[in-house]
């Protein structure tokens, strides 16, 4: 499995043609306590960069963008009842949605974990 990051602080774990998407530890830290998450519906078609989900915290509301194009397989329904999962475990249990990738070559423009760490160190 490979993990990639965007400059908007989304991550995507890729296993074959399936990607699991969430927000980074850094993004979660910037948002603070998460109080609401709206994930995309199953079957929704997304293009890279589309608004895919919404996350609200005590500080702000923020869009979560699709890091790659494809079809939503499932949203993380646990976040509706327990949005705090994003605070507790943003890069695992706090995932937002799974997507079937329609163009895996889009991943080539993303950062790996080392490049992302260097990117956030400059912020």
Domain ranges, ordered by start, for the chain: 2-121
Residue 100 β-bridge partners: 18, 71
According to CATH, what is the number of the domain 2-121? 2.40.50.100
User: Could you tell me the pTM of the whole model?
Assistant: 0.96
What does the pLDDT average to over 22-32? Answer: 96
Please count the other Cβ atoms lying within 10 Å of the Cβ belonging to residue 38. 18
- Confidence class of residue 1 from pLDDT cuts 50, 70 and 90? confident
Residue 38 β-bridge partners: 54
38: part of which helix (H) or strand (E)?
strand 34-38
Please count the other Cβ atoms lying within 10 Å of the Cβ belonging to residue 17. 11
């Amino acid at each position: 499995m490979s993990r990639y990051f965007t400059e908007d602080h989304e991550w995507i774990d890729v296993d074959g043609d399936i990607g699991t998407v969430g927000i980074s530890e850094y993004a979660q830290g910037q948002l603070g306590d998460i109080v609401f998450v709206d994930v995309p519906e199953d079957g929704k078609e997304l293009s890279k960069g589309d608004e895919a989900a919404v996350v609200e915290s005590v500080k702000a509301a923020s869009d979560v963008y699709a890091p790659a194009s494809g079809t939503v397989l499932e949203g993380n329904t646990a976040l509706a009842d327990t949005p705090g999962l994003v605070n507790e475990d943003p890069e695992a249990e706090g995932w937002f949605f799974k997507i079937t990738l329609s163009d895996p070559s889009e991943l080539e423009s993303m950062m790996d974990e080392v490049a992302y760490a260097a990117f956030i160190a400059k912020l």
